[in-house]
Chains A and B, each alone.
Chain A
Amino acid sequence: MDFKPSVFFEALTSPAFIDGVRVTIMLTVVAMAFGLALGLLVALLRASPWAPLRAVAWGYIWVFRAIPALVWLLFVWDALPQLVPAFKGDWFSAFAAATIALAMNEAAYAAEVFRGGLLSIDEGQRLAARALGMPPSKVFTKVVAPQLIRVTIPPLSNDFITMLKLTSLASVISLQELLARTQTLVASTFRFVEYFSAAAIYYLVLVSIFMVIQAQLERRFVWISQQTASTSALSRVRQLAALR
């Protein structure tokens, strides 16, 4: 077996690798943030009483779920500057292109998750909030949003993990994220096993860290009192069942 532990550990700790991890994390977080914001907007448009807005939202979801992320990424990076001169500027880095492409891709999926979440919230919730005298903005931020976050954490966490892995596609537009760094190092050393293993370890660690964060988040959205939390795990199960 041709596996040199020393090369593997050297790869794990090399500054170039760590810098790639940094870019991967940044791209994941920034693209996800924009993707969620855009996705929420698209979901709200889909629930609009005005048919043309619903059609725009539907069209968006249709197009961006159909186009492979890699195709769209290459389109944004290579074709967009030809179409729109504004994208020829220096600001349009590989990072910017990857952010735009991955965020727009994510928005189509997030929109469907948000739409499902909005549908799952009982109409009586909005009704009660309106009856109290809340204006529409407060009905959303104080009553709908907390319940929406709760039901969308698990599916959006899935999306987050997918996003983390999709960032590796940006290596094809020369963004120096984790995979691009790995390939560069592999090209000069031909130590495939060690370097790809090191990259895999980093992805594994990143996803694991995120899973811990997800669990913490979900715990924050279990709505039971201190008393119950400390006394009975059974009633907690009951509460979760009741809320379904």
Chain B
Amino acid sequence: MSEPPLGHLLDAGLLGEPVAAAREGTAEYVLEAIDLHKRYGHNDVLRGVTFGVHRGDVKAVLGPSGSGKSTMLRCLALLEPIDAGEVRLEGRRIGVRESGGRLVPLPERALARERSEIGMVFQRFNLFPHLTALGNVMIGLTEVRGRSKAEAREIAQTMIARVGLAERASFYLGELSGGQQQRVAIARALVMNPKVMLFDEPTSALDPELVGEVLAVMEELAREGMTMVVVTHEVGFAKRVADRVIMMDGGAIIEDAPPAEFFGNPQHERTRKFLEAVH
């Protein structure tokens, strides 16, 4: 379980090298963030975020609001361009391409292809209201993966049954509870067979009694070996399910440890204070 020291990440810095060379790097991590920087105007939201997630691991990300957790996830999902640093998926640098010996951001169409390898679940579900639950799960298969409607329907039906909503497949989102909507959203991301799933506070918009059903689906996913990064305020979930827990504050990671250590003996004063506050 021990993570290698951060030094190796610097060795792995392939800035300026052809992207093809990066492909051959050993995929030690499924998803890796290396020195991510992001700034909105004069506001440094991310100030050098570095971490990696091993295959099948669950990384929980805690931290006060405004600490940059959601921005980090959006950068990892290639939904926000980063100002500096690297995102690597299975060892391959993503979001950029080589042009004339320099790395430049990918055009939107190429970014879209890379995004389809990463599953993203949002705090506010963001289901498509003009589609049924099944339609929401199918649309990625038909419009991104190029599957036929019949194929997509079959795969989507299996997936929607996996999140326990087979009977609700033909319902529109106005007819689903928040918990059900979030489970559909998970199925929608999962059906793309992503290499990693990112969750942005998936239970924060839910009524308390609906949190459990969503966490149950996520725990099941973790058991099945899905690689996950979960931004959450659910300390219980982080304790039970995460392999490592990250504490973010002020746009940087201030603690990164296995849950027993993280919750039992936090090294950073800020972490201690945060844990006291949320308990």
Contact = CB atoms under 8 A, between A and B. Distances in A.
Contacts of A128: 120, 122, 126-128, 185, 188
Interface string A229-243: 000000100110011
A136 B108 contact: yes
B79 A134 contact: no
A126 to B, nearest CB: 9
A96 B173 CA distance: 45
Contacts of A129: 128
B192 A223 contact: no
Given A135-B108, A136-B109, A142-B139, A130 B174 contact: no
Please indicate which of the listed interface residues A125, A128, A131, A225 has the most CB atoms of chain B within 10 Å of its own CB.
Answer: A131
B170 A225 contact: yes
B112 A228 contact: no
B189 to A, nearest CB: 8
A223 B126 contact: no
Chain B contact residues (Cβ within 8 angstroms of A): what range?
A: 35 or more
A137 B160 CA distance: 27
Contact of B130 (A127, A131, A147): A147
A6 interface: no
A132 B132 contact: no
A227 B128 contact: no
A147 B130 CA distance: 7
A95 to B, nearest CB: 37
A224 B175 contact: yes
Chain A contact residues (Cβ within 8 angstroms of B): what range?
A: 20 to 34
Given A138-B143, A146-B130, A225-B175, A132 B192 contact: yes
B116 interface: yes
Overall SS of chain A's interface:
helix
A223 to B, nearest CB: 4
A15 interface: no
B109 A122 contact: no
B66 to A, nearest CB: 19
A242 B181 CA distance: 14
Given A132-B139, A133-B116, A136-B109, A124 B171 contact: no
Contact of A130 (B115, B127, B189): B115
Contacts of A134: 112, 140, 143-144
A43 B116 CA distance: 29
B172 interface: yes
A143 interface: yes
Given A128-B188, A132-B144, 15 more contacts: A128-B120, A128-B127, A131-B189, A132-B115, A132-B140, A133-B144, A135-B112, A136-B112, A146-B130, A150-B130, A223-B173, A225-B172, A226-B170, A228-B175, A243-B129
23 contacts: A125-B126, A125-B128, A127-B79, A127-B126, A128-B185, A128-B188, A132-B115, A132-B192, A133-B116, A133-B117, A135-B109, A135-B112, A136-B109, A136-B112, A146-B130, A147-B129, A221-B130, A223-B129, A223-B173, A224-B172, A226-B170, A227-B170, A243-B174
